[in-house]
Structure 1
Amino acid sequence: MVVADMASGTSARDVAVELSRQAALLAEQLDAPTAAVPTVAQPGVRAEVIETVTTVAATLRRLGDALGLDLDEATTRHTETGRSPANGPMPAPPVEVTVPVLGVDACAAGWVGAILEPGAPRPRIAVAGSIAALVEAVRQSLDIQAVAIDIPIGLPDDTTRQADVLTRKALKGKASSVFTTLTRSAYAAESRAESDTVNRGLSGQGVGAQAYGLRDKILEVDAWVRSRPTVAVLEVHPELSFAVMTGAPVLAKKKNDEGRAARLAALAAAGIASPSVLKGDGYAADDVLDACAAAWTAARRTNGLARSLPEPPETFSDGLPAAIWV
């Protein structure tokens, strides 16, 4: 239902606009179906649906008249912009955690994980020196159904990844938080200079400090995923997760007080309480918050709500689906 999808606190005016817009669109589609909108097979049923939707639209227009609101003008503006007339892009609704999931971020100690369980909105935090050790430790007590990791999965052979390109486009004002994943051969190089030469020869792209600086972590996860662990594994980008949670990228830097507060607020609005631990030996608050954002995406994936960039994922010679999920 349209109303259920709208954020809490949305005004009656916006509800009326959205209902009127969608009712009008549905009536048009049913009256002149396209390949994307199948026809209603039985003519009598189709006519009844059209009549009902048209009646709803007319009723809403009368409501608009009573409120002094031009619904025709407002819904046209809404359709053209793809935004809520008053509130901009809609934040995602609070996530429902139906099965245990794990979100993971790299940290100085190795890897930090945020565990979400049904009925427990406060994430538990776990830390381990390797990704395999972290997942195994959590699985000793919980049957986690998905592991979401903030690290590239699926390394290209001689191109850039669409996952990086599309995520960068989606993060206006935060595009610099997305680095370009190197080719597999470039990550095999033992120095950044050698990696740069290899990568330029294959994809035409130079090698940034962050992309090569995460080399060991990327290769560690790559080896672990290629060992075929018996749990769903997906790549995420926390800034993209936070952007979908809130309806727009969180521009405040994640390492300062303002950025931490903004991300904690985003998690709370998304149904995830402040984690049990925010920082510790070998991991910082931003690592924990990124892991929580990853866990949020893992929960969405298990609910069938997550989408991938690109859709469907790319596949390179390693056979791993290459996509960032949100």
Structure 2
Amino acid sequence: MTRVLGVDACKAGWVGVLRTDGQTTALVAPTIAELVKQAEQPQPPAPNATQPLATAAGRQPPEPIAVIAIDMPIGLPDTAPRQADLLARAAIGRLSSSVFTTPVRAALQAPTHGEAVLVNRELTGQGLSIQAYGLRAKLFEVDEWIRRATTRVVEVHPEVSFAYLAGAPLTVRKSTWSGAERRRALLADAGIQLSGDLGLAGHAVGVDDVLDAGAAAWSALRVAEGNAISLPNPPQTFTDGWPAAIWV
């Protein structure tokens, strides 16, 4: 039984899709550390599941999580765009604007967006969007947490995962009804069932966030089973020491 966790940022903090032997569970937490802690706890058994071992509360003893895949840059560049970002754009074609260029670490450490733009331009020749700068808190949250993680953690980009699931880049955004339904169907065909409220009622989690976490879980399973590829291959390594690549 392989347990994997796909993670995406959301208004509530972080949303995860945990896949355990065909069963899909959604989790929400304000921090990445709390989300992973939730995922490591015993989960309610699937309906009609027959397991020889169970806790007194009727829950299955959990297997360790094999891989955590997260939609957040891991490995921040020093002076130039990451190859992972460039290759991800090429892989998804029309929706390439969903891949932002990861800022250099020094720019993200700047106290204001204006200063960050100057630093990023000086080191890379490019500016820095307010949206990219706005992710700095979550980027650094992951950057700090991953140093303590005991489970293998990889970076993914959901639209790259969906392109590989479909066999071609998708052309309709997931913010549309048809785009969301197309992605949910692709995940269902791959064994990631996202239907019902998933336990997310009352949480500030958008449809796109759940779909992205599901795509991340699919890529995590591929990594765990040894079927994934990395963009680039081999990954780049910057001065922070982390192998920078998007896995699919």
Structure 2 residue aligned with 1:265: 185
CA deviations over 1:117-158 (Å, ceiling 9, x no partner): 1142xx210000000111012112232111000000000111
Structure 1 residue aligned with 2:26: 125
**Does the 8 Å CA contact 1:250/1:262 hold for their aligned counterparts?**
no
The size of the alignment, in residue pairs, is 226
Question: Does the alignment pair 1:199 with 2:102?
Answer: no
Cα deviation for residue 277 of structure 1 reads 2.9
Can you give the 5+ residue segments of structure 1 that lack an aligned partner in the other structure?
1-97
Cα deviation for residue 275 of structure 1 reads 4.2
Q: Which one-letter code corresponds to 1:126 in the other structure?
A: L
Q: Say which of 161, 165, 187 aligns to 2:108.
A: 187
Structure 1 residue aligned with 2:4: 101
Cα deviation for residue 226 of structure 1 reads 2.2
> Structure 1 runs of 4+ off > 6 angstroms?
none
The normalised TM-score by structure 1 is 0.67
Which has the larger displacement, 315-324 or 256-265? 256-265
Q: Say which of 138, 142, 154 aligns to 2:75.
A: 154
Structure 1 residue aligned with 2:40: 139
**Does the 8 Å CA contact 1:146/1:231 hold for their aligned counterparts?**
yes
Alignment RMSD (CA, Å):
1.2
Q: Say which of 156, 160, 171 aligns to 1:251.
A: 171
Q: Say which of 213, 218, 239 aligns to 2:159.
A: 239
Which has the larger displacement, 270-279 or 231-240? 270-279
Q: How does 1:16-95 map to 2 (within 5 A)?
A: none
Q: Secondary structure at the match of 1:319?
A: coil
Cα deviation for residue 271 of structure 1 reads 2.3
Q: Distance in 2 between matches of 1:162 and 1:247?
A: 22
Pair 210,203 (structure 1): closer, same or farther in 2 beyond 3 Å? same
Which has the larger displacement, 309-318 or 243-252? 243-252
Q: Distance in 2 between matches of 1:148 and 1:242?
A: 14
Which has the larger displacement, 263-272 or 127-136? 263-272
Cα deviation for residue 211 of structure 1 reads 1.2
Q: Distance in 1 between matches of 2:197 and 2:77?
A: 36
Higher helix share: 1
Q: Secondary structure at the match of 2:93?
A: coil
Report which of the two structures shows the higher radius of gyration computed on alpha carbons.
1
Q: Distance in 2 between matches of 1:226 and 1:156?
A: 17
Percent identity among equivalent residues?
52
Question: Does the alignment pair 1:163 with 2:84?
Answer: yes
CA deviations over 1:283-310 (Å, ceiling 9, x no partner): 1111001000000000000000000000
Structure 2 residue aligned with 1:322: 244
Q: Distance in 2 between matches of 1:119 and 1:270?
A: 10
Structure 2 residue aligned with 1:283: 205
Can you give the 5+ residue segments of structure 2 that lack an aligned partner in the other structure?
43-61
Q: Which one-letter code corresponds to 1:226 in the other structure?
A: R
Q: Secondary structure at the match of 1:221?
A: helix
Structure 1 residue aligned with 2:95: 174
Q: Secondary structure at the match of 1:301?
A: helix
CA deviations over 1:78-126 (Å, ceiling 9, x no partner): xxxxxxxxxxxxxxxxxxxx41000000000000000001142xx2100
**Does the 8 Å CA contact 2:3/2:19 hold for their aligned counterparts?**
yes
Q: Secondary structure at the match of 1:230?
A: coil
Q: Secondary structure at the match of 1:314?
A: strand
**Does the 8 Å CA contact 1:124/1:275 hold for their aligned counterparts?**
no
